[in-house]
Amino acid sequence: MRVEIHELSKSFRSHQVLDSISLDLPGGEIVAVLGPNGAGKTTLLRCLGGVLLPDQGELRYDGQPFLRDALAMRRRMAFLPDAAPVDAGMSVLEHAGLVLRLYDVSQRLAVERTLELLDRFDLLTSAPLPLATLSRGQSYKAGLIPLMAAAPELFLLDEPFASGMDPTGLVALKDFLRELVSGGGTVIYTTQIMDVVERFADRVIVLHKGRVVAADKRETILAERGSEDLDALFRSLREETA
């Protein structure tokens, strides 16, 4: 899915969180959004997912303007915040069923996909358990799995690699996201973990104080900024704004 962002801005009271952001993401890529605390990473994802209404600017998905009440378009995307929103009283399977009904996935397909993903994420034995009994990493898996089963074309994830998931879950997530982009989908995730970006991103967006300071292939960004690696890039950003 192609994602076009034009002059997107968002403020909370007098604090400008996003400042005239414009990006054109062609689709079929894993995009990492980097930035220090308060850079606007989560706010950007929330605007892209329709959770927040920007103050100004336009979003287009596959060339079509994004309208928050356009159900068909919203069913083509998924957004998972850093703390997966789940009802602690529901079981893992009940939660998955509820989410997939919202995506209008047939019951047969919902069960088939959910069981396959539960097994893939080593959560199958926990399927009948209340979400309240799960660990933090297991809860994140429980929030992630039904969104994956919905087969989104645009997947937005806030800090997925700091979610508490075990190595099995992290490997399964990376494999799934690679499969998604190989079919033309787009993945946009936020992180502050440089090592993850070095190994798992086709394109990098660097946010600083609500503005895009770099957006390109990792190697291109480093060459243009004269930095040896992403750590050096962030050190230079701190010095520029000190």
Looking at residues 176-188, what average pLDDT do you find? Answer: 96
pLDDT for residue 231 = 76
Read off the CATH number of the domain in which 9 is found: 3.40.50.300
Per-residue pLDDT band at 230 (split at 50, 70, 90): confident
Per-residue pLDDT band at 234 (split at 50, 70, 90): confident
| Pair 149, 95: CB distance under 8 Å | no
CA-closest candidate to residue 43, choices 98, 82, 76: 82
pLDDT for residue 57 = 95
| Pair 6, 19: CB distance under 8 Å | no
- The SS3 assignment for 54 reads coil
How many CB atoms within 10 Å of residue 205?
Answer: 24
Residue 227 has pLDDT above 90, yes or no: no
Tokens 């209340």 correspond to what residue?
Answer: 130
Phi, psi angles (nearest 5°) of residue 137: -65, -40
Instruction: Tell me which of 221 and 212 has the higher pLDDT.
Output: 212
CA-closest candidate to residue 55, choices 2, 3, 87, 7: 7
In a domain, 106, yes or no: no
pLDDT for residue 152 = 93
pLDDT for residue 49 = 94
Per-residue pLDDT band at 23 (split at 50, 70, 90): very high
pLDDT for residue 218 = 78
pLDDT, tens digit, for every residue of 140-172? 999 999 999 999 999 999 999 999 999 999 999
Residue 239 has pLDDT above 60, yes or no: yes
pLDDT for residue 176 = 96
In a domain, 146, yes or no: no
Tokens 């660097």 correspond to what residue?
Answer: 206
In a domain, 119, yes or no: no
Give helix then strand counts, H and E, for the chain.
Answer: 9, 10
Tokens 């503005």 correspond to what residue?
Answer: 211
Give the predicted TM-score (pTM) of the model.
0.92
Instruction: Tell me which of 164 and 67 has the higher pLDDT.
Output: 164
Buried b (16+ CB within 10 A) or exposed e, 138-168: bbbbbbbbbbbbbbbbbbbbbbbbebebeee
pLDDT, tens digit, for every residue of 69-119? 788 899 999 999 987 666 778 999 999 999 999 999 999 999 999 999 999
Looking at residues 43-54, what average pLDDT do you find? Answer: 95
In a domain, 36, yes or no: yes
| Pair 17, 55: CB distance under 8 Å | no
In a domain, 189, yes or no: yes
pLDDT, tens digit, for every residue of 214-223? 898 878 887 7
Residue 242 has pLDDT above 60, yes or no: no
Residue 54 has pLDDT above 70, yes or no: yes
In a domain, 174, yes or no: yes
In a domain, 120, yes or no: no
DSSP bridge pairs for 157:
80, 189
Instruction: Tell me which of 152 and 234 has the higher pLDDT.
Output: 152
Q: Tell me the residue range of the domain where 81 lies.
A: 3-86+153-240
Into how many domains does the chain fold?
1
Residue 211 has pLDDT above 60, yes or no: yes
Share of the chain above pLDDT 70, in %: 95
